[in-house]
Amino acid sequence: MPVDRKLRNDKSVVLGITGSIAAYKAAELASLFVKQKYQVFVVMTHDATEFITPLTLQTLSKNPVTTSFYDEKENWRPGHIALADAANLLVIAPATAHVIAELAHGLADHPLTAIALATRAPILIAPAMNGKMWEHPATQENVEKLKSRGVEFIGPDAGMLACGYEGVGRLWKVEDIAFRAEFLLRQHDRLIA
């Protein structure tokens, strides 16, 4: 995955999208990152492609979208490792309970979780799920495990959920996710300077 640092800011954001109804909001997030002059590389789980098309994200990010390990036929180097190495920040928005569990347990059976396992960049997770799923002790335990490893969470928000329930589980406001991502990138710059 070539990273063209001459055309844009020298920061690369890998945007992970999982299979939540809130996946459509990732299009706005990708657009905001591009407006902030970041290189944006989108990685989608298979389930995410049921909610929003890779073509939409490719058009907005101006880069190929990774949906499978089999997308990585460009050269000899595995694309997910190239993305893990190039990332200055990994943002997963929306993040389902399933992907949070995979991350907490170090599973890497698709490109997004493999990138999360291989990157040394900061990770920002914006959960979106049913409130009962968010509040379940297993999910909370997985979140705490990831926080103890330095992963940052933003949200979820309270309100009407896609399932018809009202409660905590909505994706945090996209503008606020972008703002937090920018803060983390600046903070990371200060730590390595």
| Rounded Cα gap, residues 47 and 137, in angstroms | 24
* Cα separations in angstroms, 138 against 4, 44, 153, 155, 188: 40, 24, 16, 17, 30
Is residue 163 part of the annotated active site? The answer reads: yes
| Rounded Cα gap, residues 39 and 56, in angstroms | 16
- Confidence band, pLDDT 50/70/90 cuts, at residue 113: very high
Q: Which two tokens stand for residue 89?
A: 């920040």
How many CA atoms are closer than 13 Å to the CA of 47, on its beta-carbon side?
16
**Main-chain phi, psi angles of 2, to 5 degrees:** -70, 140
Statement: the pTM of the whole predicted model exceeds 0.95: no
pLDDT tens, 12-40?
A: 999 999 999 999 999 999 999 999 999 99
Q: Is it the case that residue 165 has pLDDT exceeding 90? A: no
Catalytic residue among 3, 101, 117, 163: 163
Residue that the structure tokens 């979140």 belong to: 143
> 98 CB contacts (<8 Å, ≥6 apart)?
18, 19
Domains of the chain: 12-192 (3.40.50.1950)
| Rounded Cα gap, residues 111 and 68, in angstroms | 6
